[in-house]
Amino acid sequence: MPEQDLSGNPVRELGKRFFITFLLGILVYRLGAVVPVPGVSSEALRDFMGAQGEGLLGQMMRWANMFTGHTIERASIFGLGVMPYISASIIFQLLAFSVPALKELQKEGESGRRKINQYTRYAAVLICLVQSGLAARALMAIGGGEGNPVVVDEGWIFIPRTMLVVTTGSMVLLWLADQITKHGVGNGVSVIIMIGILSGFPSGIAEMVSGGELPPVLGVITIFLLIVAAMVLITLARRGIQLEQQRRVQGNRVYGGAQTQVPLMLNQASVIPVIFASPVMLVLTMGLGYLLPRAAGLFEYNQPVYRYFYAGIIIFFTFFYISITVDLNEWANNFKQSGFFIRGVKPGAKTVEYLRYRLTRITVVGAASLAAIAILPEMIGAVVGAGMATRQALLGGVGLLIVVGVSLDVIKKVSSYLMAHQYQGLIKQQQRSGGMGKSPRGAGGKRRF
């Protein structure tokens, strides 16, 4: 947690941070999520999304709706959520490994990261303006029908007004995330996304319970617990590479000889490959629909071919993302400069080759696990007969993966804070006991008897 205060009561400090997170992340965010954009009928938009059924457009809208906290179906002022900032962050993260100027900024430490974060926010504003303009135009396209139009005010002012309102809403939401990072439990953007995903749990539970039959309900609960357990295992899985420091002898003293580990995460790319794969599958499916109309049915959302292609694209983007973001040559140079080496492996090119071999092996398992998380819950939900809301909330692999990852991160930060406070108390206790053990001295430093 940032700006930790170890002088006060740790329980009170944690309670204050969780209260701020609850106040900003749940009350303010969820209240703003039900405020619609002026000129849009949220009921008509919800009916339109429900009418899409299992079609590709309906699935993509529901997928985006889950990440934004179900604000799209309400035509909320927070309709874009923090996704524009996430998109801008991914873009700058990728550019930092290909643009020398950004790479140098990263090496400047805190000041460089602050500048990159400022550029990311500027890019997020531009992305918000573009996406909100496209969304407003799409709402006008689907809202021109008779009966129950989505857009009740189709004047010329609708598009610029919607762009201004939605962009402002996303920036306010980003400000709330910053306050949660500074004064709450930390990592406010991830907490906002997690709260948005959790907002779909009540509807999923209500749909599951409304079925009335006990065996399907128990089956869904069992599958949910197994999926969560598997996600915890995947998120915490590490493969450590043992490093040893070179020893040197100067006189009668031996320096160096320390040992440490470089942990390689099983899920190194997190959910970023899934975020990349979803729009690619949308473009691919639409392109095949135009070029090969007869084969278009094979690539529908609920077809096995679609799932296999989707899993393959996720695996591809996992390797692509890791190959761009992980610089093994820099790792090897840092090891060499720090005096560390891998036992049995020569520094330099051999170390890079060894690291690449280890990283490739663990990435294969991680990419396959991520692809399975993305497609298996939907398949299992269809087998047990779970409804759409239940499959998306309780069995949705990507959403649950984010919830599990953020929850584990919060638990880790709370444990670190309590441990730091405990160490601080031990140090103060030792200082007090050490001071009391000393014999008193008088003026001038002379010992008094």
100-149 pLDDT, tens digit per residue, is 888 888 777 778 888 888 999 999 999 999 988 888 888 887 754 455 67
pLDDT in tens, 7-65: 567 788 888 889 998 888 888 888 888 888 888 877 777 777 766 655 556 666 766 77
1-199: CATH, from 1.20.1090.10, 1.10.3370.10, 1.10.10.10, 3.90.1010.10:
1.10.3370.10
Residue 437: the pLDDT is 45
pLDDT surpasses 60 at 386: no
pLDDT attached to residue 129: 92
Q: Above 80 in pLDDT, residue 183?
A: yes
pLDDT band at 448 (very low <50, low <70, confident <90, very high): very low
Name 303's Cβ contacts closer than 8 Å, sequence gap at least 6: 297
- In CATH terms, 205-425 corresponds, of 3.40.50.300, 1.10.3370.10, 3.30.450.20, 3.40.50.720, to 1.10.3370.10
CA 351 to chain centre: 31
With a CB cutoff of 8 Å and minimum separation 6, the contacts of 45 are 72, 73, 74, 75, 139, 150
Q: Is 298 a residue whose pLDDT tops 70?
A: no
pLDDT digits (tens, 9 = 90+) for 418-439: 887 777 766 766 666 665 444 4
H/E segment holding residue 262:
strand 259-265
Dihedral of the alpha carbons of 209, 210, 213, 218, in degrees to the nearest 10: -20
How much is the mean pLDDT over the chain? Answer: 78
- Rounded CA-CA distance 348/328 in Å is 10
The one-letter amino acid code at 153 reads D
